[in-house]
Amino acid sequence: MSGTPSDIKLIDENGIRIDGRKADEMRPLKIEAGVLKRADGSAYLEWGKNKVIAAVYGPRECHPRHMQNPAKAIVQCKYNMMSFSVSDRKRPGPDRRSIEISKIISEALENVVFTENFPRTSIDVYIEVLQANAGTRVAGLTAASVALADAGIPMKDLVPAVAVGKAEGQIVLDLNKEEDNFGSADLPIAMIPRTGEVLLMQMDGHMTMEEVEIALGYAKKACQEIYEVQKDALRRRYAAQAGAVDEDDSSDEEA
């Protein structure tokens, strides 16, 4: 995060951002559940220019065995950005950033999954970022919780997440790449709308307490919106599955 170069104006005199949004407006979000045949659960998400896929395997036997917990399952997330996901080719493989993001997403998910139902097992969550444009950790977490639900893993609730931040002295919802690069604060947050429980909160940059309150208000409203999109993705997935079962039944009758 650095100062704004004089030639980049993140918000115009009418309060409109570089991509045409108002301060409290989110980028368009689309989620589809059950996109991968081989995974136990999966989800594909497009959020603005971000494209993310999440795949869930398990609960399955935990390897290496010394990582097994006799009382509960462990949630192991691997977040990865494809080398073609950003404008300069990203060096493939894990780096400090992806290890950190994997850890915070694992911890957020471990707090919603009923891990005690599956002792000694591992629930493996893979997040692949195909295209990145700021906010990929919250996009990854949002997709991963839909993939977990698609895998039929019992959870307290879905986990919607969004980043709020500050650009040119104004609080903005769902930072784009320019705001992430040249803005003055970035605050990714995951919140369960039903309970107000916070499962992830990080902050980078500078905000006053009043600004944090405005930002949290924006995030709360956005998490409710994201939650509806997540539920809708699962509803469509179940409807498609039910349709497929009905078709099987009718073909049995015909035979």
Q: Which of residues 206-225 bind ligand ADP (CB under 6 A)?
A: none
* Binding pattern for the stretch 153-192 against ligand ADP, x by CB under 6 A and - elsewhere: ------------------------x--x-----x------
Q: Does 88 bind ligand ADP (CB under 6 A)?
A: yes
Comparison of 166 and 177: residue with beta carbon closer to ligand ADP? 177
Q: Are 139 and 52 in contact (CB under 8 A)?
A: yes
Comparison of 85 and 230: residue with beta carbon closer to ligand ADP? 85
CB of 116 to ligand ADP, least distance (A): 30
Position among 41, 58, 59, 135 found at the interface with ligand ADP (CB under 6 A): 135
Position among 111, 122, 133, 142 found at the interface with ligand ADP (CB under 6 A): 133
Comparison of 23 and 86: residue with beta carbon closer to ligand ADP? 86
Comparison of 25 and 68: residue with beta carbon closer to ligand ADP? 25
Q: Which of residues 93-132 bind ligand ADP (CB under 6 A)?
A: 97, 132
How many chain residues interact with ligand ADP (CB under 6 A)? 13
Residues that bind ligand ADP (CB under 6 A): 86, 88, 90, 97, 132-137, 177, 180, 186
